Amino acid sequence: MKHVIAVAHGTDSPDGRATIDAIRESLAQQLEAEDAGAFQVHEAYVDVQEPSLDAVAAKFSEEDEVIMVPLLLSTGYHTQVDMKKAADASPARDVRIARALGPSAQLAKLQRTRLEEAGWDGYGQIVMAAAGSSRADGRQAVELQSEIFSTLLSQHAPHGFVASIDPKIADVVEEHSAEFVSTYLMGRGFFQGLLHKLDGAGKGLIVAEPLVIPGDEDSASVVASVAKERVLEADASYRICSH
């Protein structure tokens, strides 16, 4: 059996926690359907919540096969530093780190669904809001997601960051006279709350819901299916390299 650590950021938001729980549970179900008895999914966080990734990674034995899959939309500090540190410290000799969930066309389709639910009918300027990263590779991943999303919409959807990183979402909204914000966030929480504080939010500016909201099993399943692809990809690449 392979041990899959589903690594989320962690949040104080009850809705955000419910979102991650739903994604993780759907991931476990999808992996079981893919190969019964082959995978066991474990819960872990890099911040705010317990159990911590370090603690979970430390509990395995040398013989265990472990795959860490980030329930994170972009590569960045958590994938490149926190997860690698936990992998290096784990007693397990075989620890692989899967790719982050984004960029992804499946996630872009989910973004579009949220926009349409918010009232977008194909007209109106859209901007895309992401959390932000201190790392260049994380910012590049968001830029690529913006390009994928724009192609899907057949309309340019420039991106901005909620964190204090350029381009800031407030500046992008103003520059493009945006009418809709596509929320490229996993679930409700601190950053989603900041988007609702943007000038004009709830009036001339409509902020769409994040990718997954509590009670929406379909959206959780979409994100989980991307995570499953990342797990199987990491597993396959190891088997190829080991032969």
Judge if 24 and 96 occupy the same domain: yes
Judge if 89 and 121 occupy the same domain: no
Residue 240: the pLDDT is 37
CATH code for the domain in which residue 172 is found: 3.40.50.1400
Judge if 51 and 132 occupy the same domain: no
Judge if 96 and 109 occupy the same domain: no
Judge if 14 and 81 occupy the same domain: yes
| pLDDT bucket at 64, cuts 50 / 70 / 90 | very high
Helix axes 217-241, 105-117, angle to 10 degrees: 170
8-state DSSP, 215? T
Judge if 176 and 111 occupy the same domain: yes
158: containing domain: 105-207
Judge if 180 and 225 occupy the same domain: no
Name every residue whose Cβ is closer than 8 Å to that of residue 188 and which is 6 or more positions away in sequence: 13, 15, 16, 19, 209, 210, 213, 214
> What are the pLDDT digits (tens) for 66-96?
999 999 998 777 677 899 999 999 999 999 9
Can you say whether the dihedral through the CA atoms of 165, 171, 176, 182 is positive or negative? positive
Residue among 207, 191, 34 nearest 119 (CA): 207
Judge if 123 and 186 occupy the same domain: yes
> What are the pLDDT digits (tens) for 4-53?
999 999 999 999 999 999 999 999 999 999 999 999 999 999 988 999 99
Which residue type sits at 14?
Answer: P
Judge if 145 and 94 occupy the same domain: no
